[in-house]
Amino acid sequence: MSRIKKECDIIDPGKVYSGFEALSVQELSEYESTAFHFTHISTGLELFHLHNNDRENLFAFVFRTPPDDDTGVAHILEHSVLCGSERFPVKDPFVLLLKGSLHTFLNAFTFPDKTVYPASSMVEKDFYNLMVVYGDAVFFPLLKREVLMQEGQHLEYRRPGEQDGRFERVGVVYNEMKGALASAETLVGTWSFRSLFPDTPYGFESGGNPLKIPDLTYKGLSSFFHKYYHPSNCRIFIYGNIPTKKHLLFLQENLLSSFNRQQISSEIPLQPRWTEPRTIIKTFPVGKEESPAGKSSIVLNWLIGTATDPLKMLSMEVLNEILLGNAGSPLRQALIKSGLGEDISPASGLDTELKEMVFSVGLRGTDPYQQQAIEFKILDTLKDVAETGFEKELLDPALQRIEFRHREIRRGGSPYALQLLWSSLRGWLHNTTPEVTLEFERWLKVLKNRIDEDKNYLVDLLIKNFLENPHRSTIVIKPDPEQSERGQRKEESLLKQVEANLSVEEKQGLIADNRKLLDYQNTPDGLEELNKVPMLNIQDLPAEVEIIPTSRVDFGGDVGCYFHDLSTRRIVYLDLVFATHGLEKQDSLLLPLLSRALCGCGLAGIPYGEVARTLALYSGGFTAGLDAGSVVGREEVREQIIFRLKTLKGKLIPALKTVKDLLLGADFSDLDRLKDILLNQRNALKVSMILGSR
């Protein structure tokens, strides 16, 4: 979609606009955008705007917030700043925005090295309402003591007001992290990178360790805020069609004019390199009656190098895709066929969200005694791959899938701009410009040329970063039937110790503090305060509803095809829908397995690995899912199975042929493959149930 430059778009590098100096202006054609990069003269705040024709405008306030302990101060502060600010002194403006806004996204995130506050809307007035409320929250929060008690933790008697009762510790983040760190998958995900960074802020639990959260004081929370939540440590990312100059003026007039520059040290140091690998063992609770057999995860992790080098990062993405990207990938296939575990650990893959990249691979559904065998299988497979090199049948699908992934406008329930935000922060947060890690097509050409010129380029990269890299950790996450009871006893003991050390006056003070908290929570916001939170009026809404272009071609009978002509960067999305409501109940129960098997099995005479590589070569993905819903205007429930294919326009025909072959001739005779699919499905369901229970 072409962009017509208006006078309000014209910005010259070196000139000042509403207190912001323009650092650079660059056309990013792959995103159909113009990138404007600014610094706020008075504070040093940096702003990056991807200006384009997209009506879904997004902003994000971003702060580097490296932790120096396990108290979860960054996480608790993320919760706390959204509990009232100077201009909007209500207890939960976030909830009010959820009710009175047409936002398309509204959230906040704590990462191991940063805290991010993004929001988006397709209505300009709403966008600025969100921006001023979020901006006031991060720069001018009230940070009441009651908020730390509520969002962090506090002690209270189980029978309120009774000093002879029993203490308990409660709090939003405290309870959240108790649940999170009792999950095997969470432990695997966090220790996969934490184990590699013991000498940096990445070695701490940024979300907070429940044993350490009580150590956070109000002074500590306030000090962390004043240290990091300042425009001099802030980056603002903006995306969409609202003119750049309008953003600059709004921010200067509403949020930034009262600040001066501060010297803030928030840079993440590099991890000193090891000379030999290490092993980390962690446990998670299971029921005392449960057998611990087959419930462990064992994962190998490598520290690769900085994520700010776009060529190396892209090269490692290609290596990751070759090794693990599909069912036919050599490392994935070797681990699954080894029988050493049930399936690949979800932590497996390349992590580019930290200052330095991490590559992880391992198995779940295994046992601790398999550690040496799993390490040997992974390292031995990598040696075999290095010796045989990367044939065209492995390299071409990997390059194709990486190109597809970067080209695709991915949403997944959130704005596409959010993906661009994460890409820009990889470099921008670590002292390069945001464009460096946003650009893709330029670096893909460089990579392809490098591979053509040096056939051993990727093999040498594999050898250097995996086989000859001693900065490697093995994490063993195993079940402990005694852990829950032991942890409960320890918590009770600590609470009794705290209670025993309190004087009568201190106990009375604790009761008084809890009464203040209850009064704070139970006292409704005043009408005057509520009216300060901006809401949309009917006149703020667009007069016309966007119409998605739709046409239909009938193929006879009840079969037809709906076409939607939209801008998709030459990607074709195809849904094949089959009604299933006529099936018997026992047959319907097999549909989840059938849907996965049809997308993951082989064909007659062609093993599933080869079919997976063919799909990777010609498509960006072939998946299936079940759907059920009511029909508008009828008392009828419609059940269906939907197969989804996405592919580049030029590869539609071979992609469709492969899908047709699978739907009409999938080979289910490979029982080992069906077992792998079933175990993967079972484990995914178990994880989703655990996450859904929080």
Label the pairing between strands 278-285 and 472-480: parallel
Q: What angle do CA 618, 623, 625 make, to 5 degrees?
A: 160
Percentage of residues in the chain with pLDDT exceeding 70?
96
The predicted pLDDT at position 481 comes to 93
Q: How many CB atoms lie within 10 A of CB 92?
A: 13
Summarised one tens digit per residue, pLDDT across range 437-458 is 999 999 999 999 999 999 999 9
Summarised one tens digit per residue, pLDDT across range 408-437 is 887 777 899 999 999 999 999 998 999 999
Give the separation between CA 349 and CA 321, rounded to whole angstroms.
Answer: 8
The predicted pLDDT at position 79 comes to 96
3-class DSSP state for residue 490? helix
The predicted pLDDT at position 678 comes to 87
Q: How far apart are the first and last CA of the chain?
A: 43
**Pick from 591, 578, 605: nearest CA to 666:** 605
Q: Between 582 and 246, where is the model more confident?
A: 246
**Pick from 342, 361, 374, 366: nearest CA to 681:** 342
DSSP 235-270: EEEEEESS-HHHHHHHHIIIIITT--------PPPP
Q: Which residues pair with 647 in a beta bridge?
A: 572
Q: How many CB atoms lie within 10 A of CB 298?
A: 27
**CB 667, CB 601: distance < 8 Å:** yes
Q: pLDDT at residue 268 above 70?
A: yes
Give the separation between CA 301 and CA 306, rounded to whole angstroms.
Answer: 15
Choice among 138-147, 273-282, 546-555 with the minimum mean pLDDT: 546-555
Give residue 498's pLDDT band: very low, low, confident or very high (50, 70, 90): confident
Give residue 2's pLDDT band: very low, low, confident or very high (50, 70, 90): very low
Give residue 203's pLDDT band: very low, low, confident or very high (50, 70, 90): very high
Q: pLDDT at residue 463 above 90?
A: yes
Q: Which residues pair with 247 in a beta bridge?
A: none
The predicted pLDDT at position 1 comes to 40
Q: Between 1 and 261, where is the model more confident?
A: 261
Q: pLDDT at residue 7 above 60?
A: no
Give the separation between CA 357 and CA 369, rounded to whole angstroms.
Answer: 29
Q: pLDDT at residue 137 above 80?
A: yes
Q: pLDDT at residue 643 above 70?
A: yes
Give residue 691's pLDDT band: very low, low, confident or very high (50, 70, 90): low
Name the residue type at position 279: T
**CB 645, CB 689: distance < 8 Å:** no
DSSP 457-488: HHHHHHIIIIIT---EEEEEEEEETTHHHHHH
**Residue 239 token pair:** 């995306």
Give the separation between CA 44 and CA 33, rounded to whole angstroms.
Answer: 25
Give the separation between CA 594 and CA 610, rounded to whole angstroms.
Answer: 20
**Mean residue pLDDT across the chain:** 92
Q: pLDDT at residue 298 above 60?
A: yes
| Full set of structural domains in the chain with CATH | 7-152+216-256 (3.30.830.10), 278-480 (3.30.830.10), 551-674 (3.30.830.10)
Give the separation between CA 633 and CA 621, rounded to whole angstroms.
Answer: 34
Summarised one tens digit per residue, pLDDT across range 82-96 is 999 999 999 999 888
Q: What is the mean pLDDT of residues 511-523?
A: 93
Give the separation between CA 522 and CA 91, rounded to whole angstroms.
Answer: 10
Q: Which residues neighbour 187 within 8 Å (Cβ) at sequence distance 6 or greater?
A: 181, 282, 284, 477
Give the separation between CA 261 and CA 231, rounded to whole angstroms.
Answer: 8
The beta-carbon contacts of 378-383 under 8 Å, at least 24 apart in sequence, are: 378/300, 378/331, 378/335, 379/467, 381/330, 381/331, 381/334, 381/335, 382/323, 382/331, 382/462, 382/466, 382/467, 383/467
Q: What is the mean pLDDT of residues 373-393?
A: 95
Give the separation between CA 399 and CA 648, rounded to whole angstroms.
Answer: 13
Number of residues that make up the chain: 694
Name the residue type at position 60: A
The residues that are catalytic are 78, 151
Give the separation between CA 355 and CA 268, rounded to whole angstroms.
Answer: 7
Give, in order, the Cα–Cα distances in Å from 618 to each of 134, 329, 666: 43, 16, 18
Summarised one tens digit per residue, pLDDT across range 41-59 is 999 999 999 999 999 999 9
**Pick from 465, 331, 473, 308: nearest CA to 388:** 331
CA dihedral 73, 75, 80, 85 (to 10 degrees): 100
What SS3 string covers 295-306? CEEEEEEEEEEE
What SS3 string covers 118-162? EEEECCHHHHHHHHHHHHHHHHCECCCHHHHHHHCCEEEECCCCC
Give the separation between CA 233 and CA 259, rounded to whole angstroms.
Answer: 12
Q: How many CB atoms lie within 10 A of CB 280?
A: 17
Given phi > 0 = left and psi -120 to 50 = alpha, else beta, which region is 21? beta
Percentage of residues in the chain with pLDDT exceeding 90?
70
Q: Which residues pair with 235 in a beta bridge?
A: 46, 62
Q: Between 547 and 61, where is the model more confident?
A: 61
The predicted pLDDT at position 142 comes to 96
Strands (E), 631-691: 637-648, 666-667
Residue written as token pair 């350490």: 212
Give, in order, the Cα–Cα distances in Å from 363 to each of 142, 350, 475, 636: 46, 15, 11, 44
**Residue 280 token pair:** 């980390």
Give the separation between CA 201 and CA 197, rounded to whole angstroms.
Answer: 8
The predicted pLDDT at position 8 comes to 54
Q: pLDDT at residue 161 above 90?
A: no
DSSP 397-448: HHHHHHHHHHHS---TTS-HHHHHHHHHHHHHTTTS-HHHHH--HHHHHHHH
Give the separation between CA 221 and CA 225, rounded to whole angstroms.
Answer: 6
Summarised one tens digit per residue, pLDDT across range 310-349 is 999 999 999 999 999 988 899 999 999 999 999 999 999 9
Give the separation between CA 76 and CA 72, rounded to whole angstroms.
Answer: 6
Give the separation between CA 363 and CA 351, rounded to whole angstroms.
Answer: 17
Give the separation between CA 444 and CA 403, rounded to whole angstroms.
Answer: 8
The predicted pLDDT at position 236 comes to 99
Name the residue type at position 387: E
Give the separation between CA 473 and CA 280, rounded to whole angstroms.
Answer: 7
